[in-house]
Amino acid sequence: MSTALITGATQGLGRALAGSLADRGWDLVVTARDGAALAHAVDELRDHGHQVVGAAGDVSDAVHRDEVADVVIRMAGAHGLDLLVHNASTLGPVPLRPLRELSTDDLAAVLAVNVLAPHALTRALLPSLAAAGGTVLAISSDAGIEHYETWGGYGASKAALDHLTLTLAAEEPAVRGYAVDPGDMRTAMHQAAFLGEDITDRPLPQEVAVPGILTLLDTRPASGRYRAADLLAAATTPGVAS
């Protein structure tokens, strides 16, 4: 039995990935701040018949992270944690704004959720991950590489998360590290970034991002940065090795 921790799993990509892993028989620990939404997600995920535990809280809260780590270590047992997904994330203040209008406190809050929390959770769970030969999966963004106006704080946080994840993989031979750009997705976060705009042309998380990530987990290529769309294309194009 495989075990995963997915942060931010009540909606969007985290919820869709949790559903697919539950379908595949994984035991799950899932988190989010909204306890009622989390309880609902846990109920749905438990319909799959495997262990699912919800831990409500903000990933930037050290006390919450300690609780999450305790739950995960207990569930994963001696086998260890197979997959840690750093999915919970914040854009920072919306509407997104140029750096000259982004306060230092606002930037610190973005880094607390998108960078410091994943680093702390990874450290707390590293022995369990190493025991299982597990995987750290950081959900990244093209904003971590490109320099889009108004996306500077969020983009810097994703660049930092990528760097931490791939450096960890270089340091820890027992652990794989992936930074995955899921591509644009029709989610609440994307709508918040494009306030008032029609985003119905963007794919749902289960259309590209989740199948791309599942391909990554199935094939376990070398640690590195990947795009979900490329992973999916390689998996579905005859003659192209994934």
Ligand X SMILES: NC(=O)c1ccc[n+]([C@@H]2O[C@H](COP(=O)([O-])OP(=O)(O)OC[C@H]3O[C@@H](n4cnc5c(N)ncnc54)[C@H](OP(=O)(O)O)[C@@H]3O)[C@@H](O)[C@H]2O)c1
Binding map of ligand X across residues 148-167, x = CB under 6 A, - = no contact: --------------------
- Of 2, 89, 128, 215, which lies in the binding site for ligand X, with binding defined by CB under 6 A? 89
Nearest-approach distance from CB 239 to ligand X, in angstroms:
29
Nearest-approach distance from CB 87 to ligand X, in angstroms:
5
- Of 111, 139, 179, 210, which lies in the binding site for ligand X, with binding defined by CB under 6 A? 139
Distance CA 114, CA 164 (A): 11
Contact between 6 and ligand X per CB under 6 A: no
Q: Would you say 11 or 130 has its CB closer to ligand X?
A: 11
Distance CA 236, CA 220 (A): 16
Distance CA 59, CA 57 (A): 6
**Residue 162 to residues 126, 134, 194, 241: CA-CA distances in angstroms?**
17, 17, 24, 25
Contact between 88 and ligand X per CB under 6 A: yes
Q: Total number of residues binding ligand X (CB under 6 A)?
A: 31
Which one of the spans 70-78, 184-192, 212-220, 224-232 is the region binding ligand X (CB under 6 A)? 184-192
Distance CA 67, CA 40 (A): 20
The answer to whether 180 touches 228, Cβ cutoff 8 Å, is yes
Contact between 188 and ligand X per CB under 6 A: yes
Distance CA 32, CA 205 (A): 17
Contact between 182 and ligand X per CB under 6 A: yes
In the block, residue with structure tokens 């702390």: 120
Contact between 20 and ligand X per CB under 6 A: no
The answer to whether 121 touches 173, Cβ cutoff 8 Å, is no
Which one of the spans 46-54, 84-92, 101-109, 165-173 is the region binding ligand X (CB under 6 A)? 84-92
Nearest-approach distance from CB 202 to ligand X, in angstroms:
6
The answer to whether 86 touches 137, Cβ cutoff 8 Å, is yes
Q: What is the DSSP letter of 166?
A: H
How many other CB atoms sit within 10 Å of the CB of residue 130?
Answer: 15
Contact between 3 and ligand X per CB under 6 A: no
Q: Would you say 34 or 47 has its CB closer to ligand X?
A: 34
Rule CB under 6 A: which residues touch ligand X? 7-14, 31-34, 37, 58-60, 87-90, 113, 139, 141, 182, 184-185, 187-190, 205
